[in-house]
Amino acid sequence: MISAKRYEDLAIWQLSVELRNRIFKLTETGPAGRDVEFRDHIRKSARSAPDNIAEGFGRFKPRPFAQFLRVARASLMETRSQLQDAIASGYFSEEVTGPLFSLQLRALAGCTRLIKYLESCKGEAPAGWDPNNPFGE
């Protein structure tokens, strides 16, 4: 198994960041950009997932990390709901949101798999994990 030395190495973080960046770009202009309440809400939920993944990674223990991943999952679901709202409101087309839904689902599935792995660790850090040297340097 390949281990992540930094949260930036995690595919779920990378997918979440890509989703966040695309949502920020889409909400810069147009009707979604002019609806300040909507824009701020979807940006907040999109920003939350990678932040929680990073914060959980920094906890160095499986159980707290898994809890932060659950929060990240919830933020990804909230972002999905906001995208559905954007379609219903006419802000974005299904063609534009299709790739975003794909990113969201991939990040969500990865979070779920990592949560299951962390729960299998039974509260102990995975073998080879050194909290005093989290970057493996």
53-64 per-position pLDDT tens digit: 999 999 888 899
CB atoms within 10 A of CB 17: 20
Query: Could you give the maximum distance between any two Cα atoms of the chain, in Å?
Result: 50
User: Rounded to two decimals, what is the model's pTM?
Assistant: 0.86
Residue 127: predicted pLDDT: 58
Q: Per-residue pLDDT averaged across 95-115, rounded? A: 95
Residue 108: predicted pLDDT: 96
Query: CB of 86 within 8 A of CB of 116?
Result: no
Distance CA 39, CA 14 (A): 22
Which of these, 89, 74, 73, lies nearest to 27 by C-alpha position?
89
Residue 61: predicted pLDDT: 87
Residue 122: predicted pLDDT: 72
Supply φ then ψ for residue 100, to 5 degrees. -70, -40
Q: Worst-scoring range by mean pLDDT, 72-81, 82-91, 124-133?
A: 124-133
Please tell me the number of Cα atoms within 13 Å of 87 on its side-chain side: 13
Greater confidence (30 vs 124) lies with: 30
